[in-house]
């Protein structure tokens, strides 16, 4: 199947022409500071047309456009239920009509983390598995699940895609979602700077001199032996591991796939989470494998074909 694929990230939009498990052409458009999705549509159209030309694909063969959004989206109705303050006008736009009029193909929209799971199962770390949990560590924490080969969606399309909002600490930090002590409030990219700054000894840490505190600087400083960085990293690992056990107990997967930019430190993260899951998750049958995602930021783009082929 030939398809168009869009991954609507908070700061950029991944654009691709895909044929089955191959990305024929791809690029990234900056979206930071854009007032609305509507204002971005002409640029998206232009970019997808350029990629179609670059890939020498026969445009008439194209069977659909798959769009991953950082939102609660119901692929069955094409409705966007919540946009987490990104692309706030998306729910009011007639995107299916735009897609049909512009490219002559149907549009399917899905939560971006669900699309990434589809991609990893189709072409990456979860190939061959029908029962999958995927955790994406980024600004927030994405957690999604597939059971018996079907993405879990639920009555309001929010089932299993709020994995980062499962609490790990009832007395913890307030979360952007309104809950308390969510995994991403305790160890997400957005909460990390605040956690680090409150850590005893922060003023003398290498983190205090870093231009910005993100997982890259945290893991680099920890690898250099910076005490505060080592302790904050340990806390993050424990939060992610606790979140993984919760998701395993909830969804009964054979495999847990962990993705996100921080997985450049997979050699530290995966063994820690695997040990914790093996020790603490329920599983009379055995324990799920914990693996690093294989596709990086191509995962959601490669979820296009399985999403478009899914019988809803
Ligand atoms: Zn939350």
pLDDT of residue 173: 97
pTM equals 0.94
pLDDT of residue 83: 66
Cα distances (Å, whole numbers) of residue 270 to 58, 108, 154, 291: 41, 33, 29, 6
Q: How far is the CA of 178 from the centre of ligand 1 (A)?
A: 6
Q: Phi-psi region for residue 181, left (φ > 0), alpha (ψ -120 to 50) or beta? A: left
pLDDT of residue 87: 83
pLDDT of residue 255: 98
- How confident is the prediction along the chain (312 residues), in pLDDT tens digits per residue? 999 999 998 789 999 999 999 999 999 999 877 778 999 999 999 999 999 999 998 889 999 999 999 888 999 999 888 766 678 888 889 999 999 999 999 999 999 999 999 999 999 999 999 999 999 998 899 999 999 999 999 999 999 888 999 999 999 999 999 999 999 999 999 999 999 999 999 999 999 999 999 999 999 999 999 999 999 999 999 999 999 999 999 999 999 999 998 999 999 999 999 999 999 999 999 999 999 999 999 999 999 999 999 998
Q: How far is the CA of 91 from the centre of ligand 1 (A)?
A: 22
Cα–Cα distance measured from residue 15 to residue 5, given in angstroms and rounded to the nearest whole number: 6
Q: How far is the CA of 137 from the centre of ligand 1 (A)?
A: 14
Cα–Cα distance measured from residue 304 to residue 207, given in angstroms and rounded to the nearest whole number: 39
Helix, strand, coil in percent for the chain, rounding step 5: 40, 25, 35
* Beta-carbon neighbours within 5 Å of ion ligand 1: 165, 175, 177, 179, 182
Q: How far is the CA of 157 from the centre of ligand 1 (A)?
A: 17
Q: How far is the CA of 138 from the centre of ligand 1 (A)?
A: 14
pLDDT of residue 268: 97
Q: How far is the CA of 167 from the centre of ligand 1 (A)?
A: 7
Q: How far is the CA of 211 from the centre of ligand 1 (A)?
A: 27
């Amino acid at each position: 199947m030939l398809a168009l694929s869009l991954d609507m990230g908070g700061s950029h939009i991944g654009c691709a022409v895909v044929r089955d498990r191959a990305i024929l052409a791809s690029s990234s458009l900056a979206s930071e500071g854009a007032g609305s999705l509507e204002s971005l549509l002409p640029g998206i159209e232009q970019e997808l047309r350029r990629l179609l030309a670059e890939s020498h694909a026969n445009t008439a063969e194209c069977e659909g456009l798959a769009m991953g959004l950082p939102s609660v989206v119901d692929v069955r109705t094409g409705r966007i239920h919540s946009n987490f303050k990104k692309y706030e006008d998306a729910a009011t736009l007639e995107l299916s009509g735009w897609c049909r009029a512009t490219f002559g193909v149907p549009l399917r929209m899905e939560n971006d983390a669900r699309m990434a799971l589809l991609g990893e199962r189709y072409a990456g770390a979860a190939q061959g598995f029908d029962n999958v949990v995927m955790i994406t560590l980024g600004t927030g924490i994405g957690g999604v699940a597939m059971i018996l080969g079907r993405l879990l969606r639920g009555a309001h399309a929010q089932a299993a895609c709020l994995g980062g909002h499962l609490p790990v600490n009832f007395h913890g930090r307030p979360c952007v979602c309104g809950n308390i002590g969510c995994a991403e409030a305790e160890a997400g990219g957005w909460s990390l700077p605040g956690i680090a700054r409150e850590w005893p000894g922060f003023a003398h840490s290498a983190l205090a001199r870093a231009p910005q505190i993100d997982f890259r600087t945290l893991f680099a400083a920890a690898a250099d032996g910076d005490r505060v960085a080592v302790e904050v990293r340990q806390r993050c690992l424990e939060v992610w591991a606790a979140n993984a056990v919760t998701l395993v107990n909830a969804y009964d997967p054979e495999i847990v796939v962990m993705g996100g930019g921080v997985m450049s430190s997979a050699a530290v993260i995966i063994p820690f989470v695997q040990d914790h899951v093996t020790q603490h998750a329920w599983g009379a049958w055995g324990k799920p494998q914990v693996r690093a995602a294989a596709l990086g930021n191509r995962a959601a783009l490669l979820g296009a074909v399985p999403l478009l082929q899914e019988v809803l």
